[in-house]
Amino acid sequence: MGDMQDSAIVVAGATGNLGGRITRALLERGASVRALVRHNTARDRLERLQKLGVTIASVDLGSASEVTAACRGASCVVSALQGLRDVILDAQTVLLDAAVKAGVPRFIPSDYSIDFTKLPSGENRNLDLRREFHKRLERTSIAPTTIFNGAFADMLTGQMPLILFKLHRVLYWGNADQRMDFTTMDDTAAFTASAALDASTPRFLRIAGDQLSARQLARVTSEVTAEKFRLFRAGGLGTLGMLIKIAHTFAPGGNQVFPAWQGMQYMRNMFDGRAKLEPLDNDRYPGIRWTTARDVLSGRRVG
Ligand SMILES: NC(=O)c1ccc[n+]([C@@H]2O[C@H](COP(=O)([O-])OP(=O)(O)OC[C@H]3O[C@@H](n4cnc5c(N)ncnc54)[C@H](OP(=O)(O)O)[C@@H]3O)[C@@H](O)[C@H]2O)c1
């Protein structure tokens, strides 16, 4: 990996959660980072990036000329943008076209998910947008690399309605033995940074800090908390599908990226097993110590 460290890596979404972590992981690897930020980004967020040694390029992701100028000379553009069609398709397409025009050889789109190439469209709105963006990627001369990491393991102790800590239950749909992929945001960021600095990445890279089923999650949670966690079957995948339709009808969620029904679509896709990651590329870069679900649960703040 010797020859590409000199040129900059462009990061779009560096003020965001994953993007910030990717930026720090790139800097730790000795890369120079150019963050594309919006014109109206708050000054304290910019100063935080500048203190780390990041170069700031303030651009409008609607302006091809501004973004092209900001991409010049970079060896890879990493997108960690988040949003709906206006971002994942429209803004990312401006970014992609600009990268091509500026002669950037490689592009990492904002995917970071379960393997949606295995899913037909119509099952998961947010992933459909990313699959649609892939069609645009394939039409360009740039070399794209998608990082698939399953679900962010950090969500096991937060947003993800799997481990119900108060009720001492692990909720599941369908099959309690279906294994699922979990990777922390930091591990995803570390791997993405290494991939951004690797001149010869394949089209897809798959990583998982841990792979475990609801039954295994119940066991690990019981061990870590020293309290008994039992399985709770909420229903089959057909029932979940019906609930998604109902939730979508009665709480469509407008412009929200994660309305309840969208979270339920992710659950369905994880429990049905088709988007499971294999084979894994965990060993591609030395020095990444993968964080397990047990590690995440052990670090949980009690209360
Ligand atoms: N696998 C999983 O479990 C999982 C979970 C969560 C997220 N993800 C994925 O991780 C990726 C990043 O998500 P995140 O949670 O880190 O997102 P986030 O914290 O919301 O950050 C989004 C970033 O995109 C920027 N952005 C959005 N719209 C923009 C626009 N029109 N022009 C310029 N910048 C724009 C934001 O800039 P500002 O700071 O200016 O707003 C911010 O830097 C996404 O692909 C998401 O789907 C995966």
Q: Which atom of ligand 1 is nearest to the CA of 155?
A: 3
Segment holding 55, helix H or strand E: strand 55-58
Cα gap 173→236, rounded to integer Å: 5
Please state the pTM of the whole predicted model. Answer: 0.97
Ligand 1 centroid distance, CA of 70 (Å): 19
Ligand 1 centroid distance, CA of 234 (Å): 30
Q: Has residue 259 got a pLDDT over 70?
A: yes
Cα gap 61→194, rounded to integer Å: 25
Residue nearest to atom 32 of ligand 1 (CA): 61
Cα gap 82→12, rounded to integer Å: 10
Residue-level pLDDT at 84: 98
Pocket of ligand 1 (CB under 6 A): 13, 15-19, 38, 41, 61, 80-83, 87, 91, 110, 112-113, 149, 151-152
Residue-level pLDDT at 150: 98
pLDDT band at 303 (very low <50, low <70, confident <90, very high): very low
Pocket test for ligand 1, best of 82, 130, 156 (most atoms within 8 A of CB): 82
Ligand 1 centroid distance, CA of 205 (Å): 20
pLDDT band at 284 (very low <50, low <70, confident <90, very high): very high
Residue-level pLDDT at 187: 98
Cα gap 290→158, rounded to integer Å: 20
pLDDT tens digits along 115-131: 999 999 999 999 999 99
Cα gap 239→119, rounded to integer Å: 19
Q: Which positions ≥6 away from 232 have C-beta within 8 Å?
A: 164, 167, 169, 170, 171, 172
Q: Which atom of ligand 1 is nearest to the CA of 114?
A: 1
C-alpha dihedral (191, 197, 203, 208), degrees to nearest 10:
-10
Residue-level pLDDT at 7: 81
pLDDT tens digits along 153-188: 999 998 888 999 999 999 999 999 999 999 999 999
pLDDT band at 302 (very low <50, low <70, confident <90, very high): low
Q: What percent of the chain has pLDDT over 90?
A: 95
pLDDT band at 6 (very low <50, low <70, confident <90, very high): low
Whether 113 contacts 152, CB under 8 Å: no
Residue-level pLDDT at 3: 44
**Average predicted confidence (pLDDT) for the chain:** 95
What integer is the mean pLDDT of 56-63? Answer: 97
> Which residue, among 176, 207, 183, 206, has the nearest Cα to 293 in the 3D structure?
183
Residue nearest to atom 5 of ligand 1 (CA): 152
> Which residue, among 74, 29, 76, 33, has the nearest Cα to 196 in the 3D structure?
76
**Cα Rg for the chain, rounded, in angstroms?**
20
Q: How far is CA 214 from the centre of its chain?
A: 21
What integer is the mean pLDDT of 39-51? Answer: 94
What integer is the mean pLDDT of 82-100? Answer: 98
**Encoded tokens for 158:** 């937060």
Residue nearest to atom 15 of ligand 1 (CA): 17
Residue-level pLDDT at 134: 98
Residue-level pLDDT at 159: 81
How long, in residues, is the chain? 303
Residue nearest to atom 11 of ligand 1 (CA): 80
Name the pairing type of β-strands 180-183 and 210-212.
Answer: antiparallel
Q: Has residue 5 got a pLDDT over 60?
A: no
> Which residue, among 92, 88, 18, has the nearest Cα to 61 in the 3D structure?
92
Cα gap 243→241, rounded to integer Å: 5
Residue nearest to atom 38 of ligand 1 (CA): 15
